[in-house]
Amino acid sequence: MKVGAVIITMGNRPDELRALLDSVAKQDGDPVEVVVVGNGSPVPDVPEGVRTIELPENLGIPGGRNVGIEAFGPAGRDVDILLFLDDDGLLASHDTAALCRKAFEADPKLGIVSFRIADPENGVTQRRHVPRLRAADPMRSSRVTTFLGGANAVRTRVFADVGGLPDEFFYAHEETDLAWRALDAGWMIDYRSDMVLYHPTTAPSRHAVYHRMVARNRVWLARRNLPAPLVPVYLGVWLLLTLVRRPSRPALRAWFGGFREGWTTPCGPRRPMKWRTVWRLTRLGRPPVI
């Protein structure tokens, strides 16, 4: 199976980007073809053979990754698998691409693989980086219902079936939107603890727009994908969880602003999932109300 990789960058981490590209180049088996997308910024110097695209403006994470997908032909069809890697990450092993090929070849219904993210200094995997509710043991691989945006592999047929990431989201929850659409189309998602991307431990709230985007996109996610009776249940649960976590006053103000924006602005096409997909998500351990 042919493997490609999409990396988006703001051009502000040239050393980390170079280290990541070196780790991709060292993968066992056939070479991985790489496209680096400068998301509203010039692309730093890259090794020979790495393709680059420089966008005149920042399209956000999903928009930048969608440009990278199309660089491999419509819906990425020139390759069988696409890796999506954060530009400050590093593949921990030389066999990650080979493990991806083996996983997708062994399971024709496997559409997406979510890697384990570990801190390069201590090897710790943050709980939020395990894409399931029962996240206490990051070393346990399992079927899951979503995936990690900067450390994953996607079978390109998924994009042909359900489309790419939602450009409108810009940042936050775009992975779950794609995951729900993929699951609704019959694809499966695996979390694999043996496929590791080293990435420094960070807090998602480091992004200035975090609280607003998380709230807005949570509403959009529900409006786009859930059967109508589940929309208020899902959003009500997340509202309660947000209040229980007791964010700061400025954070809460930004969150409610985003929540309101999610109801008053266009969210893209609505394609509610089938009720059998709701049941499937429930059996996988995460009903779409939390």
CA of 203: how far to CAs of 126, 180, 271, in Å?
10, 25, 32
pLDDT exceeds 70 at position 205: no
pLDDT exceeds 70 at position 208: no
At residue 58, the pLDDT reads 97
Under a CB-based contact definition with an 8 Å cutoff, are residues 86 and 6 in contact? no
pLDDT exceeds 60 at position 207: no
CA of 239: how far to CAs of 109, 154, 189, 235, in Å?
34, 31, 27, 6
Number of H-type helices and E-type strands within the chain? 9, 9
Q: What is the pTM of this model?
A: 0.96
pLDDT exceeds 70 at position 54: yes
pLDDT exceeds 60 at position 199: yes
At residue 82, the pLDDT reads 99
Under a CB-based contact definition with an 8 Å cutoff, are residues 155 and 202 in contact? no
Tokens encoding 114: 């979510």
Over residues 133-182, the pLDDT tens digits come to: 999 999 999 999 999 999 999 999 999 999 999 999 999 999 999 999 99
Beta bridge partners, 84, equal 6, 152
Q: At what angle do helices 230-244 and 249-264 cross, to 10 degrees?
A: 170
- Going by pLDDT thresholds of 50, 70 and 90, the confidence category of residue 45 is very high
- In the chain, which ranges are continuous DSSP H helix? 14-25, 60-70, 96-106, 156-162, 174-184, 210-225, 230-244, 249-264, 275-283
Question: How many other C-beta atoms are found inside a 10 Å radius of the C-beta of residue 120?
Answer: 14
At residue 206, the pLDDT reads 54
